[in-house]
Structure formats: structure tokens, C-alpha cells
Amino acid sequence: MKILFVAPRYHTNQVEIIKILLKKNHEVFFHVACIGSTEDHSLVKPVCYKQSKLSSLIEKRFDKGRANKRFYFPGTLTYWRAMKQLRPQIVVIRDPYKLFSQLAAFFALLIKARIIFYTQEDMLRTRSRKTRLKQQFTIGFFKAAWITPIKSSNSAGEKGWPRHMYHVPLPVSIIPEKACRKNISDEGPSILMIGKYHQERKKHMLFLQALDKLKHLYPFRATIAGECASEEQYTRFMKIKAATQDMKLNNRVELKQNVPFNQMPALYASHNIFVLPAVDEPYSISVNEALAYGLPVICTDTCGTRFNINNGENGFVIKSGSLEELTISLGSLLSNYNKLDQMRQKTLQYAREHLSGEAFYARFAQVTHERFSIIMNR
């Protein structure tokens, strides 16, 4: 089956989706608004069509030099020819209200392709009447399905879900249990935090404050990894570095910058605990990746992936901005190595059942069958 993805760019969090679809013998294509210099195109080569003159004019008028290409769309005739020639059977479209997305959806409708809209929003979020009508009209007009990887409850039922909207997990690579870190060194458990250095809401300082409170109680090592490419990021990075020295944590905390994508597996595998104290995090793929490596996760109640955490089993969900809850949760893991190992095993089990490529495919196939009566390869 030919499956086309239309998105702003080919994000690394889509790699496992492409892998499982190719494994199931589907043909996968990707149309994007821009191509990043660090993307891995070994599985699929995304195509970016030349931007139309009208799109360029709109972009110059309203985007003020931003890099997200939100007003991008290709020449309509060129793209129509491309869509007719490709003739995909399923078109998965990210963010349906962008101009490129709307153009792709309209052309997909004309060639009678099945359309699946994809957003990262809470399935069970409160919607205004206007939003509900807008989404239901979009679904109805395009005869589409709508999927999201986020739901605020981890219950299995679908009661209260909007019509033709489905929860489909965003898969990550699950490593074998034997490859997970089981041993704890004499220096204590290793704690990992990932977050761009310039974003205050990632709460690097809160993490350091919790470590400061625990440093005389338990042995541990910690790593903070984040992007540090702009002047703003470097300025904040230096503030965080200074804070580690002021708290006398510099011999326990390592700050990493710009870790390449292909080195992330080794980074996860070398740690025992993952912490994401960020607030208002829409959807953190790093939480899912950490779970896939058997790392119990501590995240906040405003993190979009919090529903993957069962308190006391594979991690803890804490109140956003709460130093006390962060410190207590970390302390409970640092003080009991047997509990940490039990949680590691439950973490891996959860990831295999809910976050694997196979888990994604089973749910995706269920959506296509329920909405379109399409039976996909097993």
C-alpha cells in the first residue's frame, strides 16, 4: 500500500513509524515544507517541492523571517501533477490547518485517497464549541480520521472521545533487556535530563536544586544534555554551568551540548533514571525514548507524555514546579536499588506493550479498518 506523509519536516520521532511500515511491506513517501541538515534519510528521502511565488509573498508579509515555514506551499499545478502521479492510498497530514496541509488534503480528496490528520493535542482536552465544530467539519468534509499520540488518561476505553478521532502511540525503538543498564556503579545511579538550554520552562535550575538537596544523602551522577547552538542558548548554558559550581555539583553533574542523534542511544543506555521537570511540555519524545531503555521517568503533570507513567511502577508524575515533589521522587529511587531494578523491568514491559513499532502498527491498522474498512498487512 502506498502511504504518503505530509509534514513541516521529517522529524526524528517519525523514524520508527517509517521502519514498521516498511517492515510490513508498505511503500512510504514523505512531502515536507523544509529539509533539515541533520536529518537521516536512510529509510525514506523526503521531497520538498519548490515554494510557490504566492507562498513566498505571504511568508515575507506575515512570517518576518521565521524558520518554521508555516506559510509554505508548493505551486498548485506542480503539486497536483505530483499527487496524481504518485496516487497514494493513504495520506497522513500533520497539522491540518496549515496552507500546505490544506492543499495536500484537497488534492488527496480529489484522487480518492484516504486522509488521516495528525496533531499532537490531548485527545480528551476541553474544546470550545467553535473548535469542536471546526474539527468535526474538517473530518466530515475530507471523510478523514484524526489521530494524536496524547490522551490525558491512560484508561483503555474510548468513552468521551470525539467522533472519528483516535489515540495512536508515537513509537520508539525498544532495545533488548540485556542491552539496558542494570548495574549501578560505586558512584551511585546515573540520572539523565534532556532539555534545550535556552528554554527556562525545561527547569534545569529546579533539577539542580533537587540534586543539591540530595547530594549529602545519596551517591549519584547526573548528566544534562541539550542543544546549545545560538547565542541565547550559550548564555543560559553558562548560567547553568555557573550554578553547578556554586552548588558544588560540578564534580557530579556533566553538561553535554549538541549530542548527535546517532549518539543518543548510548546516552540513554548509560543511565539509570530519567528526569524531565519541564512544564507545559506538549509531547516529549525523550520520555518515551527513556522508557524504551528501561529508565524509570520522573516528569510533571503538564507533560504531554505523562499518561505513559504509572506512579510507583515505571516512574513518577510530579506537580509542575514543585521542588519538594521532585526531590522526594528522586530520593525514593536513589535510596532503594531493588525498587529501581523492579521499576526498570516494569518500564521495559510497558514500553514493549505500548510504545513499540508493533503497538503503533496495530493501532494504526485498527484506525484504517474502523474508519475506512481498509485491512492492512499483518
CATH code where residue 16 lies: 3.40.50
Tell me: do 194 and 223 sit in the same domain: yes
**Residue 6 identity:** V
> What order of strands is seen across the sheet that includes strand 2-7?
27-32, 2-7, 90-94, 114-118, 145-148, 165-167
Query: Is the pTM of the predicted complex or chain greater than 0.75?
Result: yes
pLDDT exceeds 70 at position 158: no
Tell me: do 154 and 265 sit in the same domain: no
Q: For residue 161, what pLDDT is reported?
A: 78
CATH code where residue 322 lies: 3.40.50.2000
Q: For residue 140, what pLDDT is reported?
A: 97
Tell me: do 165 and 199 sit in the same domain: no
Tell me: do 72 and 198 sit in the same domain: no
Q: For residue 338, what pLDDT is reported?
A: 93
pLDDT exceeds 80 at position 154: no
Asked if residues 184 and 154 have their Cβ atoms less than 8 Å apart, the reply is: no
Of the candidate ranges 296-300, 324-328, 373-377, the one whose mean pLDDT is the lowest:
373-377
Tell me: do 348 and 230 sit in the same domain: yes
Q: For residue 227, what pLDDT is reported?
A: 87
Q: For residue 157, what pLDDT is reported?
A: 57
Q: For residue 233, what pLDDT is reported?
A: 87
Cα–Cα distance for residue pair 184/340, rounded to 1 Å: 10
Q: How many domains does the chain have?
A: 2
Cα–Cα distance for residue pair 26/20, rounded to 1 Å: 9
Tell me: do 21 and 49 sit in the same domain: yes
Mean pLDDT of 154-175: 81
Q: How confident is residue 51, by pLDDT bands cut at 50, 70 and 90?
A: very high
- Residue 120 Ramachandran class (φ > 0 left, ψ -120 to 50 alpha, else beta): beta
CA neighbor of 34 nearest in space, from 90, 79, 81, 100? 100
Tell me: do 29 and 166 sit in the same domain: yes
pLDDT per residue over 222-236, tens digit each? Answer: 999 998 888 888 899
User: What sign results for the dihedral spanned by CA atoms 360, 124, 122, 347?
Assistant: negative
In a domain? residue 377: no
Of the candidate ranges 66-70, 83-87, 131-135, the one whose mean pLDDT is the lowest:
66-70
Share of the chain above pLDDT 70, in %: 95
Higher pLDDT, 19 or 153: 19
Ranges of H-type helices in 252-356 = 264-269, 285-292, 323-334, 337-354
Q: Chain-wide mean pLDDT for the chain?
A: 92
Tell me: do 197 and 325 sit in the same domain: yes
In a domain? residue 123: yes
Q: For residue 156, what pLDDT is reported?
A: 54
Highest mean pLDDT among 105-119, 179-193, 272-286, 334-348: 105-119
CA 375 to chain CA centroid, nearest Å: 27
Higher pLDDT, 378 or 335: 335
pLDDT exceeds 70 at position 118: yes
Tell me: do 294 and 204 sit in the same domain: yes
Q: For residue 282, what pLDDT is reported?
A: 82
In a domain? residue 137: yes
Domain containing residue 262: 177-354
Q: For residue 151, what pLDDT is reported?
A: 82
In a domain? residue 107: yes
In a domain? residue 145: yes
- Name the β-bridge partners of 262: none
- Name the β-bridge partners of 150: 122
Q: Which three cell numbers stand for residue 181?
A: 543498564
pLDDT exceeds 60 at position 288: yes
Of the candidate ranges 86-95, 111-120, 157-166, 227-236, the one whose mean pLDDT is the lowest:
157-166
Tell me: do 149 and 50 sit in the same domain: yes
Tell me: do 162 and 208 sit in the same domain: no
Tell me: do 334 and 362 sit in the same domain: no
pLDDT exceeds 80 at position 168: yes
